[in-house]
Amino acid sequence: MRGHASLLGTYVEGTSPLHRLPLWLKGLTVLVLSTSVLLVNTPVLTAGALTVTAAGYLVGARLKPIHLWRPLAPVWPMLVILGGYQVIVNGPEPALQLVGNITVCLLAARLLTLTTEGQLLLDGLVALAVPFRRLGADPERFGLTLALMTRSLPYLVGSVADVRDAARARGLERSPRALVIPVVIGAVAYAHQTGEALAARGLGEPREPGPPSAS
């Protein structure tokens, strides 16, 4: 099985100022920046946010220019379609505004994952769930679910790509059976192995209520 990037993004090791910032400060900055461009929605603010974000990549995080463009590669078709629709309906300025705002949000979120280790991101998300414990939430179970998701989804995506390549090599790329059946079998086997690993460690099982405390 080929290697595939983590669902939370590929962390780039470094000692830059952004790498050293605490997670809560980086997360708050991304939230404020994204919320501001979406609510204020002015060309001046969007252009300024794009400049600040680009500076964050190249100066604050000392990343290569390719890291600035790579997050946009998968969504360019969507951005072109949205921008083209806005040009037809509302004109070029609203189209540029919409595409710019989406770009700011995507790049800011990606910069957070590039400068923060995956486990630290998971720990931060679990910490956000702690206040909801009084409402019945289980932060530990939430963290386990996130960890499984971030590991399983890239694996399954990679499995689909590997099966497609194998079918193409045999000239069966148009055969639904050659594509679907191996993916389903692999997914079931992966889920079974994961379940056995969790059971062996006593994880993922509901907690038994403790004995009543003596008054």
pLDDT tier for residue 169 given thresholds of 50, 70 and 90: confident
More confident call, 15 vs 149: 15
Q: How many CB atoms lie within 10 A of CB 115?
A: 26
User: What pLDDT does 162 receive?
Assistant: 80
Q: Which of 121, 101, 105 is nearest to 9 (CA)?
A: 121
User: What pLDDT does 154 receive?
Assistant: 59
Does residue 208 register a pLDDT over 60?
A: no
Residue-wise pLDDT for 70-80, tens only, equals 777 778 888 88
Six token digits for residue 204? 């993922």
More confident call, 212 vs 159: 159
Q: Lowest mean pLDDT: which of 43-47, 147-151, 177-181, 188-192?
A: 147-151
Q: What is the mean pLDDT of residues 156-174?
A: 77
Residue-wise pLDDT for 94-148, tens only, equals 889 999 999 999 899 889 888 988 778 777 877 777 777 777 766 666 666 666 6
C-alpha distance from residue 207 to each of 35, 127, 201, 210, 213 (Å)? 39, 20, 14, 9, 17
User: What pLDDT does 143 receive?
Assistant: 65
CA-CA distance, 70 to 65, in Å (whole number)? 9
